[in-house]
Amino acid sequence: MSEKKKSIEIPTPWRIKRYYVYALATIVALVLPWIKVNGHHFFLLSFDKMKLDLAFVQFDMQELYLMPFLLMLLFITIFGMTVLGGRVFCGWVCPQTVFRVIYRDLIETKLLHLRKRIGNKQQEPDMSKPENKVKKAIAIMIWTVLALIAGADFMWYFVPPETFFQYLSNPGEHLTMIGFVVGIAAFLIYDIVFLKENFCIYVCPYSRVQSVLYDEHTVMAIYDFNRGGHIYDEHHHKKFEKQKELQTVEPNAECTTCEKCVTVCPTHIDIREGLQLECINCLECVDACTTVMGKLGKPSLVTWSSEYEIAEKKGKTKYFRPKIIAYMVLLVGLMFALGYMSTTKEHMLLNINKETRLYAVKHLANNKFAVENSYVFLLQNTENEPMKFFFEVIPPKGMEGKIQIVKPSKPFRVVPGVKKKKIVTLRTTEMLADDKRKDTIIPITIHAYALDKDGKPSKLISVMRHTIFVFPKENVLLGSK
């Protein structure tokens, strides 16, 4: 009896799984700017309103010290992903890849049939045919609309959607915003339609960074030359074109030389040549080889694994190795630092500057005197609703109650997002110091607070600022009489 080859069950292609990730990422990117909690966005860096919304908490531009932590968190996450899973970011998350799949696989292939099939990304459409030129023009028009939406979506993280559409109703006054959207859309049209994967190969610096981050346990799309055979020599020159040629040298070689893994590759490489900078870990080659070898009853020759496990045959891939643990510790530490710093957010911003005049001395009845110090208070209410603010003076020990606020005399209203300038005058009628030679610098603390609905000082909206009160020397005090 002749032995009949049984095909093995082919799992869900990685390409389909990537589509799910793309759809989820697209929905999140489009919906997130519209979500508000207590009037705040998840992320909004508004140069127009001079504020930062982060995790639905509003910060002032003076609190942009959080941004370096966000950038470090982003880059360390991407670097950690690369050490663990190669260029998995490029193949699964990067907008460049997502947009190319939408344009090439969805618009050109599925909708307009400009390309014959998704499995062949090497064969470009024959543009000598008039009908293909029409389809190409339609594809570009569809992508232009999508590029404008993408440009607007990007802008929504800097100009919130509700404000964005208000500005669109009066475009003449907001040409900068419109210019950014059109500029982003124009770049995306050139990039996705004409530059294509050359952006990944020649422009994006990430492919150069990955070679430093990889180690023998990094998971990537890798060809098993131990089973498939050596298609290329050590100088990366192709040795065999046909399976018969390969098997004359390596009889046990399983590669059929069908080159499905080559034709499906969006960056136009041959995975059988080994690790290459152009590989974006989209795993299209894994799907192609899985289908071909599955019909022969054999596992795929191209798998998502590591050199340690496939090429060197040393054992199982070590996912939790010291380098990965170090990245995890860094990420957790940064998240704790960011979380802690975000909880220390001040609900009222206050800067205190003393006036150029040190003090004013006034003569009162009964040989009394009054010494006044004036300050410029710059306040900003970072809440969403108008609030009333006031101050109190905390002098050094032993001087309690000897320095009073004479101006302003009552709480005042501050609206959100507007810096309010307030002249504050402190006065004393007590002899705080007795120095004949020089003025005395007295350190004081200003306690600024908001009033709650009951007119009592709020515990949440309360800040302390240190400043000084200057008391004049004796001859100045006596000379004023």
Split at pLDDT 50, 70, 90, the class of 414 is confident
Q: Go through 88-103 and write b for each residue having 16 or more CB atoms within 10 A of its CB, e for each that does not.
A: bbbbbebbbbbbbbbb
Q: Return the percent helix, strand and coil in the chain, to nearest 5.
A: 40, 20, 35
Token pair 């990304």 in the structure block, residue: 121
Domain final residue pick, 314, 338, 370? 314
Q: Are residues 137 and 19 in the same domain?
A: yes
| Residues of the domain holding 431 | 348-479
Percent of the chain surpassing pLDDT 70: 96
Split at pLDDT 50, 70, 90, the class of 311 is confident
Q: Are residues 366 and 277 in the same domain?
A: no
Q: Is the pLDDT of residue 264 over 90?
A: yes
Q: Is the pLDDT of residue 2 over 70?
A: no
Please tell me the predicted confidence (pLDDT) of residue 56.
84
Q: Are residues 440 and 307 in the same domain?
A: no
Do the domain assignments include residue 51?
no
Contacts for 225 with CB less than 8 Å, ≥ 6 apart: 231, 272, 311
* Lookup: tokens for 235: 């100088």
Q: Are residues 290 and 362 in the same domain?
A: no
Please tell me the predicted confidence (pLDDT) of residue 335.
86
Do the domain assignments include residue 105?
yes
Do the domain assignments include residue 52?
no
Q: What length does the chain have?
A: 481
Residue range 439-477, pLDDT digits in tens = 999 999 999 998 887 778 887 788 889 999 999 988 888
Q: Which of 1-15, 288-302, 307-321 has the lowest mean pLDDT?
A: 1-15
Left if phi > 0, otherwise alpha if psi is -120 to 50, otherwise beta: which for 459?
A: alpha
Residue range 330-388, pLDDT digits in tens = 999 988 887 777 666 667 788 899 988 889 988 777 778 899 999 999 988 877 788 88
Q: Are residues 264 and 355 in the same domain?
A: no
Span 124-142, mean pLDDT?
A: 93
Q: Are residues 120 and 264 in the same domain?
A: yes
Q: Are residues 310 and 352 in the same domain?
A: no
What number of other Cβ atoms are within 10 A of residue 109's Cβ? Answer: 21
Closest-CA residue to 306 (of 294, 314, 298, 295): 314
Q: Is the pLDDT of residue 226 over 60?
A: yes
- Tell which wins on pLDDT, 101 or 365: 101
Provide the 8-state DSSP code for 194. I
Do the domain assignments include residue 432?
yes
Token pair 């800067």 in the structure block, residue: 351
Please tell me the predicted confidence (pLDDT) of residue 246.
87
C-alpha atoms less than 13 angstroms from C-alpha of 117 in its C-beta half-sphere: 5
Q: Are residues 288 and 408 in the same domain?
A: no
> What HEC string does 216-261 produce?
CCCCEEEECHHHHCCCECCCCCECCCCHHHHHHHCCCCCCCCCCHH
CA 96 to mean position of chain CA atoms = 16
Closest-CA residue to 263 (of 225, 289, 233, 224): 289
Do the domain assignments include residue 42?
no
Split at pLDDT 50, 70, 90, the class of 3 is very low
Residue range 435-449, pLDDT digits in tens = 888 899 999 999 999
Domain final residue pick, 270, 296, 314? 314
The answer to whether 132 and 109 have CB atoms below 8 angstroms apart is no
Query: How many structural domains is the chain composed of?
Result: 2
Classified as helix, coil or strand, 455 is coil
Do the domain assignments include residue 328?
no
Please tell me the predicted confidence (pLDDT) of residue 372.
93
Q: Which of 179-183, 315-319, 378-382 has the lowest mean pLDDT?
A: 378-382
Q: Is the pLDDT of residue 269 over 70?
A: yes
Do the domain assignments include residue 130?
yes
Q: Which of 2-16, 154-168, 179-193, 333-347 has the lowest mean pLDDT?
A: 2-16
Q: Go through 123-134 and write b for each residue having 16 or more CB atoms within 10 A of its CB, e for each that does not.
A: eebeeeeeebee
Please tell me the predicted confidence (pLDDT) of residue 1.
40
The answer to whether 210 and 230 have CB atoms below 8 angstroms apart is no
Mean residue pLDDT of the chain comes to 88
Split at pLDDT 50, 70, 90, the class of 5 is low
Split at pLDDT 50, 70, 90, the class of 58 is confident
Domain final residue pick, 293, 314, 335? 314
Q: Go through 145-179 and write b for each residue having 16 or more CB atoms within 10 A of its CB, e for each that does not.
A: ebbbebbbbbbbbbbbeebbeebeeeeeebeebbe
Do the domain assignments include residue 253?
yes
